[in-house]
Copies of this chain bind each other. A is one copy, B any other.
């Protein structure tokens, strides 16, 4: 058993549940190394375990800390202000398997994000796995995630296996992390993939309203 906080019981420990995220940042500038490493060095790690690799940065810890970290890091990249893509992969459960010794569904509170006032467009997929043993009622949580995206104004329809999100970077991230946490209350193994485009020349000068 691993532990990030001695006060947590083993069943609360996010590492026991396989809670984690991966982020891949691509900055479309020849100065990409300085921009990416500069942002990574500035963001507080909080109670997270962070391992930077050549394909992605691997993050482990509580869902609320993951949302804060992803928001802080993505916001720094978006303020660069170079066109960049940010790829986020959220997961919990057993990599490569739908049956393992990890605990079952996890009751995490909904994490709260923060607005960054940076306009982004994004494509989102949310996958509940292990349907068989969980009764297949996960669609309720998916619809709740989509409803939350609609309430926040980020939802822009679904097409070709993804849901399109647009709007404030922080609102998009909160919506996606909440959807992942919500489905995780019903199924053991849940993953989500998000592709974010920031500072796209297709949306030059676009600002957040409201």
Taking beta carbons and an 8 Å cutoff, which residues of A are in contact with B?
A: 18, 20, 22, 24, 26-30, 32-33, 54-56, 58, 60, 83-85, 87, 89, 91, 93, 95-98, 121-123, 125, 127-132, 136, 139, 142, 146, 158-164, 191, 193, 195-197, 200-203
Give the residues in chain B near A128, CB-CB below 8 Å. Answer: 129
Q: Are A18 and B161 in contact (CB under 8 A)?
A: yes
Task: Give the CA-CA distance A96 to B56 in the complex, in Å.
Answer: 26
Task: Give the CA-CA distance A61 to B98 in the complex, in Å.
Answer: 30
Give the residues in chain B near A30, CB-CB below 8 Å. Answer: 28-30
Q: Are A136 and B98 in contact (CB under 8 A)?
A: yes
Q: Of the candidates B27, B54, B83, B91, which one forms a contact with A161 in the assembled complex, judged by CB atoms under 8 Å apart? A: B91
Q: How many copies of the chain does the oligomer comprise?
A: 2
Q: Are B161 and A89 in contact (CB under 8 A)?
A: yes
Instruction: List 24 contacting pairs A-B, 8 Å CB cutoff, sorted by A.
Output: A20-B160, A22-B123, A24-B195, A54-B121, A54-B200, A55-B122, A55-B196, A55-B197, A58-B159, A85-B87, A87-B87, A89-B125, A89-B162, A93-B161, A95-B161, A96-B146, A96-B158, A128-B129, A131-B131, A131-B132, A132-B132, A132-B136, A161-B191, A193-B193
Q: Of the candidates B122, B132, B162, which one forms a contact with A95 in the assembled complex, judged by CB atoms under 8 Å apart? A: B162
Q: Are A197 and B96 in contact (CB under 8 A)?
A: no
Known: A26-B26, A85-B85. A121 touches B55 (CB 8 A): yes
Q: Of the candidates B97, B162, B201, which one forms a contact with A139 in the assembled complex, judged by CB atoms under 8 Å apart? A: B97
Give the residues in chain B near A85, CB-CB below 8 Å. Answer: 24, 26, 85, 87
Q: Are A95 and B131 in contact (CB under 8 A)?
A: no
Q: In angstroms, how far is the closest chain B Cβ from the Cβ of A55?
A: 5
Give the residues in chain B near A121, CB-CB below 8 Å. Answer: 54-55
Q: Are A98 and B191 in contact (CB under 8 A)?
A: no
Task: Give the CA-CA distance A32 to B203 in the complex, in Å.
Answer: 16
Give the residues in chain B near A132, CB-CB below 8 Å. Answer: 131-132, 136
Task: Give the CA-CA distance A125 to B22 in the complex, in Å.
Answer: 12
